[in-house]
Amino acid sequence: MILNRLFFKAGGLSHFIALKLKINKGHHQLTEMSYTYQMKKIILSGSLLFILFTNTCLAEQNGNCTKFTPMTFGILPFVSAKQLVIRFTPMANYLSQHLNTQVRIETAPSFIEFGRRTVVNKRYDILFTAPHFYPHANEAGYQLIASVDSPGMKAVIVVPKQSPVKNINDLRGKRLATVDAKSLATLLIKKHLLKNKINPAKDLKIIFTPTHNASLLSSYHGITDASALMQPPYEAASKQVRDNMRIITTTERGPHIPISVGDRISDACADEISTLLLTMSSNIEGKQVLKHNRFSGFKKARISEYEKIKNQMLRP
């Protein structure tokens, strides 16, 4: 629009020059010579804008991911929708800017529905899912490109600070809040309870909640006696909540969140996304984005790590 206006003004130059226009504004006069000079500057400015505009378009056309716009960034509903937006919008914007495309975030109302949309609908172009969900995603064509750079994740069981529950054995007969039945946290917790000779189906009452936050707040507000959730969401909770809770037990460690791309995405675009993620922690802008999720960065990942966690979950 700006360029069209500039070139329209430049096109009428000969008509204005013939008039030998003089315009009086206070003490300033615009003569034919000064007008010609001003119009030349406009033409030059327009030409420079045109060059910049053309170069930008060419850069976007040459981007390996541009043709896949808009790209859907599917994120497991491990926290509330509001928290997902707060945490992942900066990352979506970062990807959009550096990939010369539009990346939009999307989640699902439950873990089961998210898994269905991942595998059956192949709805997501970039996938942020649970470690034990990835093997099924891989079978559906999702290509592993990175994982969160961390030794792995544990689940924890926490209770209010003044609770009489001191250790895992005190949970018998109590109410334990946990996340979705298909979540890694719940699977790790159930396995941990069985390891400690506590039958989760008989020895205590498990109450499922939609997110890690909901599980944590359940015992914080006294609705349940204890809460189970993954350690990263617990550490990301408000200081007020954490200061009034304590951890009574911790599970074994599982691999961290994998990042993959759907089969609609070309290998060249997948490589571009992977490189962008792997180098995020090496620049100031990337570090700021990572802080929203308390990530130190991303690293290369192996499919075998996620096959291993799936097999571990199947064993009692």
Residue 58 has pLDDT above 60, yes or no: no
- Across the chain, mean pLDDT equals 82
| Pairing verdict, β 175-178 and 205-208 | parallel
b/e 41-62 (16+ beta carbons within 10 angstroms → b): ebbeebeeeeeeeeeeeeeeee
What residue spans define the domains of the chain? Answer: 2-62, 66-152+255-314, 155-250
DSSP run (H or E) holding 56: helix 32-62
Which pLDDT tens digit goes with each residue over 235-265?
989 999 999 999 999 999 888 999 999 999 9
Residue 282, pLDDT score: 96
Do 66-152+255-314 and 155-250 share a fold? Answer: yes
What is the average per-residue pLDDT within 288-300?
Answer: 94
When the candidates are 3.40.50.800, 3.40.190.10, 3.30.565.10, 1.10.3720.10, the CATH number that belongs to 66-152+255-314 is 3.40.190.10
Residue 80, pLDDT score: 87
Residue 79, pLDDT score: 86
For residues 227 and 218, is the Cβ–Cβ distance under 8 A?
yes
Question: What token pair was written down for 273?
Answer: 């996304």
Stated pTM of the model: 0.71
Which pLDDT tens digit goes with each residue over 60-93?
444 899 999 999 999 999 888 999 999 999 999 9
When the candidates are 3.40.190.10, 3.40.50.10470, 3.90.1300.10, 3.40.109.10, the CATH number that belongs to 155-250 is 3.40.190.10
Residue 193, pLDDT score: 96
Residue 59 has pLDDT above 90, yes or no: no
Taking the C-alpha atoms of residue 216 and residue 20, their distance in angstroms, rounded to an integer, is 79
Q: Which of 108, 150, 104, 105 is nearest to 131 (CA)?
A: 150
